[in-house]
């Protein structure tokens, strides 16, 4: 009879097999590539099955505070052991924006939990290397892309991290 592997041993073995996940989804607002959550799960599902690991990702509410979170855990099917839950607070109030934020958090949490290879798009900000932000003005190609980005589930905060945004433009974007 073979030795039953612990959750940590299974996660270690899984990490050795994952490799890099190619980024093939486009973010037109940031003119960058990323791997979407569906692609990540499609790549991981066979490996999770092979190692008898169950991925659980769900939003939940802390009933004492009323705060909503997106959570991610991985459970060993054989032992019932579960990773320590990782979660991020959902800040959006609009259902569409909440869904977009939740999807982003699912990818972000899963990549962090499994140590997946990903570019650090925020690395320049974290290291203090920032570029001067330009003003986002209406009737410009950048403004049109910002509208498309929001309509696709993006949030104003991401736009404001890239551009200086007047109160008037911010109010117009909030109506999208």
Q: Read off the tokens for 172.
A: 């117009």
What's the length of the chain? 176
Cα 19 from chain centroid (whole Å):
19
Whether residues 59 and 86 fall in one domain = yes
Whether residues 70 and 92 fall in one domain = yes
Q: Kindly state the helix (H) or strand (E) to which residue 84 belongs, with its residue range.
A: none
Average pLDDT per 10 consecutive residues for the chain, totaling 176 residues: 84 83 68 74 91 95 93 95 93 89 89 72 45 83 88 81 85 86
pTM of the model: 0.62
Whether residues 48 and 81 fall in one domain = yes
Listed in sequence order, the DSSP H helices in the chain are: 7-18, 37-50, 95-114, 123-126, 141-151, 156-162, 167-174
The per-residue pLDDT for 82 is: 96
The per-residue pLDDT for 132 is: 72
Residue 114 belongs to some domain of the structure: yes
Whether residues 45 and 86 fall in one domain = yes
The per-residue pLDDT for 20 is: 67
Domain count, the chain: 2
The per-residue pLDDT for 57 is: 94
Residue 127 belongs to some domain of the structure: no
The per-residue pLDDT for 121 is: 46
Q: Read off the tokens for 53.
A: 């690991």
Show the CA angle centred on residue 18, arms to residues 17 and 23, nearest 5°: 155
The per-residue pLDDT for 40 is: 83
Name the residue range of residue 144's domain: 132-176
């Amino acid at each position: 009879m073979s030795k039953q592997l612990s959750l940590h041993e299974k996660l270690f073995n899984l990490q050795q097999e994952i490799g890099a996940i190619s980024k093939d989804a486009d973010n037109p607002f940031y003119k960058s590539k990323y791997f979407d959550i569906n692609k990540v799960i499609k790549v991981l599902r066979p490996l999770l099955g092979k190692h008898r690991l169950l991925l659980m990702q769900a939003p939940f509410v802390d009933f004492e505070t009323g705060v909503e979170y997106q959570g991610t855990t991985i459970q060993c099917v054989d032992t019932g052991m579960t990773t320590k839950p990782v979660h991020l607070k959902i800040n959006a109030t609009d259902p569409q924006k909440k869904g977009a934020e939740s999807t982003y958090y699912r990818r972000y949490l899963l990549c962090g939990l499994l140590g997946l290879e990903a570019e650090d798009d925020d690395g320049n900000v974290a290291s203090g290397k920032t570029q001067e932000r330009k003003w986002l003005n209406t009737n410009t190609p950048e403004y049109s892309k910002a509208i498309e980005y929001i309509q696709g589930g993006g949030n104003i905060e991401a736009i404001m991290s890239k551009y200086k945004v007047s109160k008037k433009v911010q109010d117009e974007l909030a109506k999208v």
